[in-house]
């Protein structure tokens, strides 16, 4: 009986030897930690390593001081390209920079803000061009429509931003809209709530005409009365009474209008399709 017990004890000892445990991993990690700690201790106790690190720090500090105080990095030029409606001279005069001062000491946020304050500027970016220049990159807003109000022409982009006020219209390629009231305005800002509804309707009308390839250029719109929009197209001496702007009907109505105009080439008069049942109640009154 004693022999069996002894054999079982030997078997258990053999199994413990052959069974993997977490102790192997622990020993490996402990050894690595010990090696790393020993390396750190060696570096801390190594005078040559300390001198090398100190030298690197001095070099970095020296470079920084050289960049800040060296006249090589003093601002000598602004790089600005002319835009379509904004010139480099306009932007240059709008921003405040300290010529002759280090480019890293310029106020880039202030420069960008001054550029964005210009009505025609949509986006702007300012960056240093080493060693001694600053570049201003910008994106312009595009004139989309002209609003005739009182004795002035208001140039507006597609999103309703007021870009410019003119005494005379020198942009004949843009449609002119009458009847949009402008109670208050500020250059570079969007139109007020009073005029936005009408303006958005005009944008929807013109955008739909462009998307549906309406074959006639709309050059003038009268929007004095909400339900009675009038328009004129190039090459036709016809007053078109379009009627109410219904966003769900614009596409079909413009297609219908294009077909009617094709039959009226060379004629003058008044074309009324303002009825909600315009397919059956379109009236053309010829003018001689």
Domain residue spans of the chain: 71-140, 143-286
Q: What confidence score (pLDDT) does residue 227 get?
A: 77
Backbone torsions φ then ψ of 160, nearest 5 degrees:
90, 15
Q: What confidence score (pLDDT) does residue 287 get?
A: 92
Instruction: State the CATH architecture for 143-286.
Output: 3-Layer(aba) Sandwich (3.40)
H/E element, 219: strand 218-222
Q: What confidence score (pLDDT) does residue 153 get?
A: 96
Q: What confidence score (pLDDT) does residue 1 get?
A: 42
Q: Which residue has the tokens 């002894």?
A: 6
Give the residue from 227, 209, 208 showing the smallest Cα distance to 218: 209
Peptide bond into 10 cis (omega under 30): no
Q: Which residue has the tokens 């009226």?
A: 264
The Cα–Cα gap between 116 and 118 comes to: 5
Q: Are 275 and 244 in contact (CB under 8 A)?
A: no
Q: Which residue has the tokens 């016809």?
A: 238
Q: What confidence score (pLDDT) does residue 185 get?
A: 87
C-alpha gyration radius of the chain: 38
- CATH number of the structural domain 71-140: 3.10.20.310
Q: What confidence score (pLDDT) does residue 208 get?
A: 97
Q: Region of 213 please: left (phi>0), alpha (psi -120 to 50) or beta.
A: left
Cα distances from 101 to residues 40, 114, 117, 120, in angstroms, run 44, 19, 24, 29
Give the residue from 179, 213, 176 showing the smallest Cα distance to 198: 179
Q: Cα angle vertex 193, ends 160, 84, to 5°? A: 15
Q: What confidence score (pLDDT) does residue 173 get?
A: 95
Q: Are 185 and 220 in contact (CB under 8 A)?
A: no
The Cα–Cα gap between 200 and 249 comes to: 16
Which stretches does DSSP call E strand in the chain?
Answer: 77-79, 121-129, 133-140, 143-149, 152-157, 162-166, 176-178, 218-222, 229-233, 237-243, 268-272, 283-286
Across-strand partners of 149? 152
Q: Is 284 helix (H, G, I), strand (E, B) or coil?
A: strand
H/E element, 224: none
Q: What confidence score (pLDDT) does residue 248 get?
A: 93
Give the residue from 235, 217, 218, 230 showing the smallest Cα distance to 271: 230
Instruction: Read off the pTM.
Output: 0.74
Residues of the chain with pLDDT under 70: 1-46, 51, 54-55, 58-59, 61-69
Pairing mode, strands 77-79 and 133-140: parallel
Q: What confidence score (pLDDT) does residue 61 get?
A: 67
Give the residue from 244, 251, 240 showing the smallest Cα distance to 284: 240
Contacts of 218 (CB under 8 A, 6+ apart): 175, 205, 206, 209, 231, 232, 233
């Amino acid at each position: 009986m004693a022999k069996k017990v002894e054999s079982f004890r030997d078997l258990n000892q053999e199994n413990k030897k052959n069974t993997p445990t977490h102790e192997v991993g622990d020993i490996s990690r402990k050894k690595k930690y010990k090696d790393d700690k020993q390396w750190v201790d060696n570096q801390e106790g190594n005078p040559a390593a300390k001198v090398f690190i100190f030298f690197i720090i001095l070099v970095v500090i020296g470079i920084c001081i050289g960049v800040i105080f060296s006249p090589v990095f003093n601002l000598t030029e602004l790089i600005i390209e002319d835009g379509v409606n904004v010139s480099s001279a306009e932007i240059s005069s709008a921003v405040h920079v300290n010529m002759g001062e280090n480019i890293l000491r310029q106020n880039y946020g202030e420069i960008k803000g001054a550029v964005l304050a210009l009505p025609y500027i949509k986006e702007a970016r300012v960056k240093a061009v080493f060693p001694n220049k600053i570049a201003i990159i910008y994106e312009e807003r595009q004139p989309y429509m002209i609003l005739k109000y009182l004795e002035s022409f208001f140039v507006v982009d597609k999103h309703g931003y007021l870009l410019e006020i003119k005494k005379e219209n020198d942009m004949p390629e843009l449609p002119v809209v009458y009847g949009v009231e402008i109670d208050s305005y500020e250059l570079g800002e969007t139109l007020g709530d009073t005029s936005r509804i009408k303006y958005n309707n005009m944008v929807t009308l013109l955008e739909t005409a462009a998307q549906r390839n309406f074959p006639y250029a709309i050059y003038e719109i009268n929007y004095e009365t909400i339900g009675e929009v009038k328009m004129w197209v190039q090459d036709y001496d016809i007053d078109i009474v379009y009627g109410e702007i219904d966003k769900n009907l614009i596409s079909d109505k413009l297609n219908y209008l294009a077909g009617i105009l094709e039959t009226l080439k060379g004629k003058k008069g008044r074309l009324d399709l303002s009825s909600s049942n315009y397919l059956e109640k379109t009236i053309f009154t010829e003018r001689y």
